[in-house]
Chain A
Amino acid sequence: MAKKMHIKLKVNGKEEEFLAEPRELLIYTLRERLNITGPHIGCETSHCGACTVTINGKSVKSCTMFVAQADGADITTIEGIGAAGNLHPLQEAFKEHHGLQCGYCTPGMITRAAKLLEEIPSPTEEQIRFGMAGNICRCTGYQNIVKSIQAAAAQMNAAREAAE
């Protein structure tokens, strides 16, 4: 067994410190060590995106990152995107437009979509489909996911305009 490393992470605004084997995959760190079970495991080969989190401002598949690589990183998961009483417009929009069914891909999907709307605040349908292509959903056929993201974008843009 390789020697354990001292790891520091900031997850959803909270500092975390622990000892871990370097080979521990970040998805397991989140799910099993920190009990942050929103991100899920779907394919383990970086195709499905169920494990998507935001690391230092990038959308990342946390099944394909060792905890050692993430040492020092600032991580946001679905739990940090919005919670009851203070939901992200995407969380509202996915509910409103039936953008989910079994819910397994949803945390990764919304986490990626939140980043997509930072990259492109008013995406076209084509940009949404291309920008979400790292996240697989087996239930919805994506049509209502696209609709949900469009609705959230419109809502966020309207709120921005109102604030200006």
Chain B
Amino acid sequence: MIPAAFDYHRPKDIAGVLALLAEHGDTARVMAGGHSLIPMMKLRMTDVQHLIDLQDVGGLSGIEIGSTSIRIGALVTQAELIDHARLAIAAPILREAALQIADPQVRYMGTIGGNVANGDPGNDMPGLMQCLNASFTLAGPDGERQVAAREFYEAAYVTARSDDEVLTAVTIPMPAGGHAYEKQKRKIGDYATAAAAVQIVNSGGTCSSAAIAMTNLSDTPVFSEAAGAALVGSSVDNAALNAAVAAMLEDIDPTEDNRGPVAFKKHAAGVILRRAIERAWSRA
């Protein structure tokens, strides 16, 4: 498996990245860890003439934990998310999810920016970011703009990011309450058959807020406002769980693949979601 030839660029700053994007248009691709892009290039399933490697670009690393939000640079790897002690306290769901992505070597290379930016419906971080109501910072020729994760994904591999923009950071409002990231997969290294991200707040036995998103059950991640709403005001009892699952099943649109037929995926989605809510609630 040998990719087609390309020119390689390693700019030092965002201005350099943007200049290259402006010059080469859609023949250029931005790459962080490369673990989504390189296999596609090796299989010659994607045509890249100019590869822009972000590794030397300043300002894209680091995890900043503020009082109301967390900012994570695009080049922060899954391994760094897992190893960050303060992040594990501030937003433990990130660690829980990152540990369920791929394997140790891939987590050393795979970045949060790459995971959220390329629009692969199998990736775990997009759904999680929607659950957490994160926003993405996009740098472009006209400066920076923020796009909510819940608005970012349009179709498989199609996002709100335009070809001349680069995703530089993820900002997450400080999560509150209990969390769970529940993922069913066939084996290590697989995408989810179904995965659920849940962040839920318990106010004296009553759910006061709930955010729920699922992964790999549609051509985009699925944030289900209705599923969250079904829990709010309840004691997260069986009726509320049933209502949340029913709401989510209205919102997902899985397709058949080697992981199974649609009926199975819907069933698994319901089971995984119920478990995620129960676990998150037990921690809330």
Contact = CB atoms under 8 A, between A and B. Distances in A.
Contact of B103 (A1, A3, A71, A133): A133
Contacts of A59: 104-105, 108
Given A23-B6, A112-B105, A116-B104, A44 B42 contact: yes
Contacts of A2: 5-8
A121 interface: no
Interface stretch (A32-40, A61-69, A99-107, A155-163): A61-69
Contact of A23 (B4, B102, B103, B188): B4
Q: How large is the interface on A (under 10, 10 to 19, 20 to 34, 35 or more residues)?
A: 20 to 34
B51 A64 contact: no
B89 interface: no
A60 interface: yes
Contacts of B53: 68-69
Given A68-B10, A133-B188, A44 B1 contact: yes
Nearest to A62: B105
Q: How large is the interface on B (under 10, 10 to 19, 20 to 34, 35 or more residues)?
A: 20 to 34
Contacts of B5: 1-2, 21, 23
Interface string B96-127: 00000011111011000000000000000000
A116 B53 CA distance: 27
B120 to A, nearest CB: 14
Most buried by B among A1, A61, A65, A69: A69
B7 A49 contact: no
A133 B53 CA distance: 27
Contacts of A21: 5
B103 A68 contact: no
A86 interface: no
Interface of B: 1-8, 10, 34-35, 38-39, 42, 51, 53, 55, 79, 102-106, 108-109, 188-189
14 contacts: A5-B8, A25-B2, A44-B42, A46-B105, A58-B108, A58-B109, A59-B108, A64-B38, A65-B109, A66-B8, A116-B104, A133-B104, A134-B102, A134-B105
